Structure 1
Amino acid sequence: MFKLEIKSGSKKIRYDKFSICIRYFLEDKKLKASLDNFERVSKTVLTELQRKNFFSKEISEIRVPRQTGKPDELLLAKITVDTKFTVDFFRNHLAGFIQSIEKEEIKSLHIFIPDYNLFKKHFDDQEYFYQTFIEGVCLGNYQFTSYKSDKIIPKNLEVYFYADNEKILKSAISTAQNIMSAVEFTKNLQNEPATVLTPDEMSKRIKKQMAKDGIRVKIFNEKNIEKMKMGGLSAVGIGSANPPRLIQIEYHGLRKNLNRKKTCKKHVALVGKGVTFDSGGISIKPYQDMWEMKADMSGAAVVAGAILAAARTKLKINITGILPVAENMLSGSSMKPGDIITTFSGKTIEVDNTDAEGRIILADALAYACEKKPDIVLDLATLTGACVVALGEFTAGIFTKDDELSRILLQLGNKTHEKTWQLPMWDIYHVLNKSEVADVKNVGGKWGGAITAAKFLENFVDPQIPWAHIDIAGPAMPNGNTNYSKKYMTGFGVRLIYEYIKKMSCSP
């Protein structure tokens, strides 16, 4: 892990001792000419073997140590822009590279961003193209080592980026660093042990961090929650020695007298599931991979991170974040199958399975968020294993009846490489959640579990307010999708939701 200092490189390049330079080459008919020109301009002479390896179809990059002159080493990487090329290429490549040099004595890294025009059709704009390079370095550098006995002292690493448009590059560096610091905050919450990150501790950490950025946070304790008649949140948290919390975050980025674009929104509500540990309760989970349930609060962490990023980039929009936070544990006082819960909206839930607790706390939170009269409501949750069965570990499920909202989220999923896919929300699924003794039951049977969970939530959302549920159960957890998602909880959703907020905002 490095202590990064990211800078925009000047036209007059100065390489320090122990430096590496990264250059990208388009793998096309002009590849040989491009390499010849680079050797001439940089006064570099590759050996016959190095050239042979570079032109090999089986090798995508070579590292070239230099005996004399600076930089000390070159990394020459080839890019094939074909149907397999994605917007994540540079982000993923640099994340992998920064990890590969972790134990090396490197003092400075010089990254030359290739001509935007060569990749224009794949990216929304030039700034976002530049942004992916900075994000790659930051994401690849992340580690969670707080509990290692051998304390790691990060080594200093200066990272210089060079691009055709220095003004846009500087803006991209600022934006990327603000977003990446928010992603890091989210991932730190996700990766904490559940014995440390109790509902109360999570509330305090979020409030402390938000205060530094001038964001208002109100925390409701278990007595407040009971007075508010949030029976769902109370019922899920009642079996734990660590009582539940409701966190309300308010970011006000929009002035009342601002001349708004016709398409921009004044107020977005974000709701995030915050189960700090999910044992399953009385309907206890199997032991395999139960450790991952420390991250069943990922939806809440992602919402906090997205609001933090919006504040740090000063987006012109108002955001309300509602985070129901609880621990689903076993005890003599735990919620039981067969219980009937009265929620904040007044609707009742029959508990068929105590391991379907996330939707119960979201029922309260969604109804409460709708009372704030936002233009749009989005909720994020590691809600169902069924969504992982349907879409795998790499993709989040989108559930909404608003086709335009779905289209935007799918588009932004492709832009950020935080992939999403829409599943049906037909009303025929409502019958599966039918209860004979309450308004609704909390599980809908064996099949289509991700859909029936979303249809359950729909009962607690104002039908006049556009709403989407995003199930991040798969991509929130460590997976092999990218170089930056292998080892730790991933922070999936922060970049996606940030881009959505930005698109909906009144910012230029």
Structure 2
Amino acid sequence: MPSPRVPSTLTAGAVLPVIELVAKAPQDADFTVVGVTGTAENPTLVGVPAAVEKAAPAKVGQIAVELGARPEAGKVTVLPRYASQLVAVGLGSDELSPEQVRRGCGAALREVAGRADERELHVALSLDTDESELVRAAIEGAVLGAYTYTKVGSQVKRPIARISVVTGLGGASAKQTLAEAQAVSRAVLVAREWINTPANLLYPQTFADEVRELAKGTKLDVEVLDEKQLAKEGYGGILAVGGGSERAPRLVRVEHKPRGAKNHLVLVGKGITFDTGGLNLKPADGMYTMKCDMSGAAAVLAATAAIAELGLDVWVTTYASMAENMPSGTSYRPSDVITMYGGTTVENVNSDAEGRIVMADALARSQADKPDLVVDVATLTGACMVALGNRIAGLMSSDDATADVLLDAAEAAGEEFWQLPVPEHIRKGLESKVADLKSSGSRMGGAMAAAAFLQHFVGEDTAWAHLDIAGPAFNDEGPYDYVPTGGTGHSVRTLVELARTLQD
């Protein structure tokens, strides 16, 4: 019997269905997903199983068109039951990309999962996908599209119990493709589960406990600094932000260090488990979704687990700065001067700009690790959402070559980023009369000012990239493609792909 979701099982919904690669579509599948390509005037069905063609009283393609099937990306049409219930999904052009397949399978599985009722369904994906990249995308899209968050206290139930992917891919390539798709999909689901968990259940201590639980049975090394250790070692930023809450902050450090790995990647994530804005209190409507303000930490931690599961030959050190930003008599104030890890003093301008404060401590600490590349991930600024909307993340970096490495990884993973500059005049706006620098500049160019602040804590000769995922990290509107309402797990796939490119 499925177990209920309780504080000790916060990632209970991250269990994958059984996934298999098969040579032909199984006739016992409850639903079989096929593709629609071509043009609106001449749509073509792709991957229709022979058993379905034989069972249909007329040409399946003709029936599908009459029922509205079109190549429009993500358009789902459910056909009558023949050998199984047929689901036709638009894939766009005939030249399929992994992201087209990922989105199509996600849309189809969302539709199917909504029809599950009390059943656990078996779904076949039949899209004529023989290339490893397309097979992997199909699996990822299906798993991510089928995901729903189970209500607290309810039993965790999987609407999709089994996924059969019809492909000619075989041998070692098939085995590797399946392993990669499962590891990445599982990591995204773990991130989503953490993000969706209410803040009274997921706070710095329990979040750190979750990381320890995730690392059990792996070779990941986990270190957790509590408030006493943070004070002893001089993490003034994390302590300042977490000082207003009864729930003390944590700094979690996770290391994946394969023997002989040379390239050293450092990941830093913002882990504000709830953000009221502190003394710069947010309006009520702006506070409601702030359990998602730890999405950056969720992304870097889940990605690190996937990197370890896949055994990627790259040294990864990950930091998650965890705190709850609350108003109280012990809260840090606007105009306070904070001494950060390493001794830099910061004039706090706005207590609702807390993410950069906690991340600066971790970035400063990471320099002792002598990384080859530092990437930080955060739901950092509303300004980035104003600039790029809710579906595209911002990317700022030390140099264009580093940005290109991240953009290439993001494109391969199917996640959207847009590069923004960090100009000198923005940096000058952080000059302070009472400290080494201010935490914020003017309202204009706020995303770039936040990036400039963070870069101050990274060595001048260190390659660095900042991912502002404030828009795509949490979807508070209707689901689309493989993206659910709520936590999305954005950036997990990009970070895993980045680690893959950095292998020796």
- TM-score, normalising length from structure 2? 0.88
Correspondence 1:453 to 2:446: no
Does the aligned pair in 2 maintain the 1:381–1:472 contact within 8 Å?
A: yes
Which of 226, 231, 236 lines up with 1:231 in the alignment? 236
- AA of the residue aligned to 2:106: A
Query: CA 1:376/1:48 → structure 2, altered by over 3 Å: closer, same or farther?
Result: closer
TM-superposed CA distance for 1:21, in Å, is 2.3
CA distance in 2, matches of 1:446, 1:35: 51
Correspondence 1:375 to 2:386: no
CA distance in 1, matches of 2:453, 2:269: 16
Structure 2 equivalent of residue 389 of structure 1: 386
CA distance in 1, matches of 2:200, 2:276: 13
* More divergent stretch after superposition (383-392 vs 50-59): 50-59
Q: How does 1:452-491 map to 2 (within 5 A)?
A: 452-478=449-475, 482-491=480-489
Correspondence 1:96 to 2:111: no
- AA of the residue aligned to 2:78: R
CA distance in 1, matches of 2:203, 2:51: 60
Does the aligned pair in 2 maintain the 1:233–1:364 contact within 8 Å?
A: yes
TM-superposed CA distance for 1:351, in Å, is 0.9
Structure 2 equivalent of residue 122 of structure 1: none
CA distance in 1, matches of 2:43, 2:223: 61
CA distance in 2, matches of 1:36, 1:477: 34
TM-superposed CA distance for 1:190, in Å, is 0.8
Does the aligned pair in 1 maintain the 2:69–2:77 contact within 8 Å?
A: no
CA distance in 1, matches of 2:279, 2:61: 62
TM-superposed CA distance for 1:25, in Å, is 4.7
Q: How does 1:229-268 map to 2 (within 5 A)?
A: 229-253=234-258, 255-256=259-260, 266-268=263-265
CA distance in 2, matches of 1:145, 1:204: 21
CA distance in 2, matches of 1:27, 1:202: 47
Query: CA 1:416/1:155 → structure 2, altered by over 3 Å: closer, same or farther?
Result: closer
CA distance in 2, matches of 1:158, 1:224: 46
Correspondence 1:20 to 2:20: no
3-state SS of paired residue (2:429): helix
TM-superposed CA distance for 1:38, in Å, is 7.0
TM-superposed CA distance for 1:110, in Å, is 1.9
Correspondence 1:113 to 2:127: yes
TM-superposed CA distance for 1:275, in Å, is 0.8
Q: Deviations over 1:392-431 (max 9, x none)?
A: 1111111113211111212222222211111111222112
Does the aligned pair in 2 maintain the 1:341–1:349 contact within 8 Å?
A: yes
Q: How does 1:24-423 map to 2 (within 5 A)?
A: 24-27=35-38, 42-47=53-58, 51=62, 53-54=64-65, 59-60=70-71, 62-66=77-81, 71-81=83-93, 87-102=98-113, 103-104=115-116, 107-115=121-129, 126-147=131-152, 149=154, 151=155, 153-155=157-159, 157-167=161-171, 168-253=173-258, 255-256=259-260, 266-423=263-420
TM-superposed CA distance for 1:505, in Å, is 1.5
Query: CA 1:48/1:208 → structure 2, altered by over 3 Å: closer, same or farther?
Result: closer
TM-superposed CA distance for 1:221, in Å, is 0.7
Does the aligned pair in 1 maintain the 2:135–2:165 contact within 8 Å?
A: no
TM-superposed CA distance for 1:130, in Å, is 1.1
TM-superposed CA distance for 1:9, in Å, is 1.1
Query: CA 1:78/1:456 → structure 2, altered by over 3 Å: closer, same or farther?
Result: closer
Q: Which runs of 5+ in 1 are unaligned?
A: 117-125, 259-264
Query: CA 1:153/1:468 → structure 2, altered by over 3 Å: closer, same or farther?
Result: closer
Structure 2 equivalent of residue 119 of structure 1: none
CA distance in 1, matches of 2:502, 2:59: 54
CA distance in 1, matches of 2:461, 2:49: 60
TM-superposed CA distance for 1:50, in Å, is 6.9
3-state SS of paired residue (2:306): helix
Does the aligned pair in 2 maintain the 1:266–1:505 contact within 8 Å?
A: yes
CA distance in 1, matches of 2:481, 2:94: 21
Query: CA 1:481/1:502 → structure 2, altered by over 3 Å: closer, same or farther?
Result: farther
CA distance in 1, matches of 2:192, 2:120: 26
Does the aligned pair in 2 maintain the 1:39–1:46 contact within 8 Å?
A: no
Q: How many residues align?
A: 482
3-state SS of paired residue (2:443): coil
Structure 1 equivalent of residue 7 of structure 2: none
* More divergent stretch after superposition (99-108 vs 292-301): 99-108
CA distance in 2, matches of 1:350, 1:36: 61
RMSD: 2.8
Structure 1 equivalent of residue 3 of structure 2: none
* More divergent stretch after superposition (418-427 vs 28-37): 28-37
3-state SS of paired residue (2:216): helix
Query: CA 1:322/1:128 → structure 2, altered by over 3 Å: closer, same or farther?
Result: same
Correspondence 1:6 to 2:19: yes
TM-superposed CA distance for 1:20, in Å, is 2.4
TM-superposed CA distance for 1:157, in Å, is 2.9
3-state SS of paired residue (1:296): helix
3-state SS of paired residue (2:18): strand
Query: CA 1:444/1:227 → structure 2, altered by over 3 Å: closer, same or farther?
Result: same
CA distance in 2, matches of 1:474, 1:36: 36
Does the aligned pair in 1 maintain the 2:67–2:79 contact within 8 Å?
A: no
Does the aligned pair in 2 maintain the 1:39–1:45 contact within 8 Å?
A: no
Q: Deviations over 1:171-204 (max 9, x none)?
A: 2222111111111111111111111111111111
Q: Which runs of 5+ in 2 are unaligned?
A: 1-12
CA distance in 2, matches of 1:93, 1:360: 40
3-state SS of paired residue (1:461): coil
Query: CA 1:76/1:99 → structure 2, altered by over 3 Å: closer, same or farther?
Result: closer
- AA of the residue aligned to 1:97: A
- AA of the residue aligned to 1:161: V
Does the aligned pair in 1 maintain the 2:349–2:439 contact within 8 Å?
A: yes
Structure 1 equivalent of residue 10 of structure 2: none
Q: Answer with 1 or 2: which has the greater Rg.
A: 1
TM-superposed CA distance for 1:345, in Å, is 2.0
